[in-house]
Chain A
Amino acid sequence: MPNMIELSYREALQKGIVEEMERDQNVFLMGEDIGRYQGTFKVTRGLVEKFGQRDNRYNLRILDTPITEAGFAGIATGAAMAGLRPIVEFMTMSFSILALDQIINHTAKIHYMTNGVVKCPIVFRGPGGAAKQLSAQHSHSMEGWYAHVPGLKVLAPSTPADVYGMMKSAVRDDNPVILYENPGLYAIKGMVPEDDAAFTVPIGKAAILREGKDISLVGYSRMTQINLEVAELLAKDGIDAEVVDVRSLLPLDTETIYASVKKTHRAVVVYEDWRSGGFGAEIAARIGEDCFDDLDAPVLRVGGLNVPMPYARNLELQCIPDADDVLAAVRKAF
Chain B
Amino acid sequence: MSNLTEEFPSISSNDLKQYLREMLFIRRFEEQCNIAYRAGLAGGYMHTYIGMEALASGWINSIRKGYDYVITAYRDHAHALLLGTDAVAVMAEIIGRKGGTAGGKGGSMHIYDPENGFYGGWGIVGGHVPLGAGLAYAARYRNEDRVVLNFMGDGAANQGVVYETLNMASLYDLPCIFIVENNEFAMGTRLEYHAADPELWKRGQPYNMKCERVDGMDVIQMRKDAQRIIDWVRENQKPYWVEVMTYRYAGHGAADNDRQLYRTKEEEEVAWARDPIARLRKYLIENNIMSEEAIEAVEAETEAEALAVLEKAKESPFPDTDEVYDNIYTDMTPEKGH
Contacts and interface: CB of A to CB of B under 8 A. Distances in A.
B329 A82 contact: no
A75 B161 contact: no
B304 to A, nearest CB: 30
Interface string A16-52: 0000000000001000000000000000000000000
Given A70-B130, A71-B168, A102-B130, A113 B120 contact: yes
**Most chain A beta carbons < 10 A, residue from B160, B328, B329, B334:** B329
B76 to A, nearest CB: 12
Nearest to B106: A113
Given A113-B102, A115-B326, A175-B331, A74 B171 contact: no
Contact of A101 (B71, B102, B119, B124): B124
Given A66-B168, A71-B161, A151 B328 contact: yes
Nearest to A108: B328
Contact of A75 (B120, B168, B331, B334): B168
The bracket for how many chain A residues form the interface is: 35 or more
B188 interface: no
B178 interface: no
Contacts of A117: 102, 112, 114
A112 B327 contact: yes
A65 B168 contact: yes
A115 B140 contact: no
B138 A82 contact: yes
B88 to A, nearest CB: 16
Nearest to B167: A66
Give chain B's interface residue range (CB within 8 Å of chain A).
35 or more
A252 B332 CA distance: 12
A246 to B, nearest CB: 15
Contact of A111 (B122, B161, B329): B329
A118 B114 contact: yes
Interface in A91-106: 101-102, 105-106
B119 A70 contact: no
Contacts of B327: 111-112, 114-116
A101 B69 contact: no
Interface string B164-176: 1101100110000
A101 B131 contact: no
Nearest to B124: A105
Contacts of B165: 71, 74-75
B103 interface: yes
Of A73, A76, A113, chain B has the most CB atoms within 10 Å of the CB of A113
Interface in A241-300: 250-252
B150 to A, nearest CB: 9
A71 B124 contact: no
Contacts of A70: 130, 160-161, 164
B287 interface: no
Contacts of B112: 113-114, 117-118
Contacts of B120: 113-114
Contact of B332 (A28, A73, A204): A204
A115 to B, nearest CB: 4
Nearest to B330: A174
A291 to B, nearest CB: 16
B107 to A, nearest CB: 9
Contacts of B180: none
Interface string B95-134: 0000001110110001010100001111110011111111
Contact of A106 (B103, B127, B164): B127
8 contacts: A70-B164, A76-B134, A79-B138, A81-B134, A112-B105, A113-B110, A115-B105, A117-B114
Given A71-B164, A78-B71, 16 more contacts: A58-B172, A66-B164, A71-B165, A75-B130, A75-B165, A79-B135, A79-B138, A81-B135, A84-B137, A101-B127, A106-B122, A111-B330, A112-B328, A113-B105, A114-B106, A115-B327
Interface of A: 28, 57-58, 60, 63, 65-66, 68, 70-84, 101-102, 105-106, 111-119, 150-151, 153, 173-175, 204, 250-252
Interface of B: 69, 71, 101-103, 105-106, 110, 112, 114, 119-124, 127-141, 160-161, 164-165, 167-168, 171-172, 326-332, 334-335
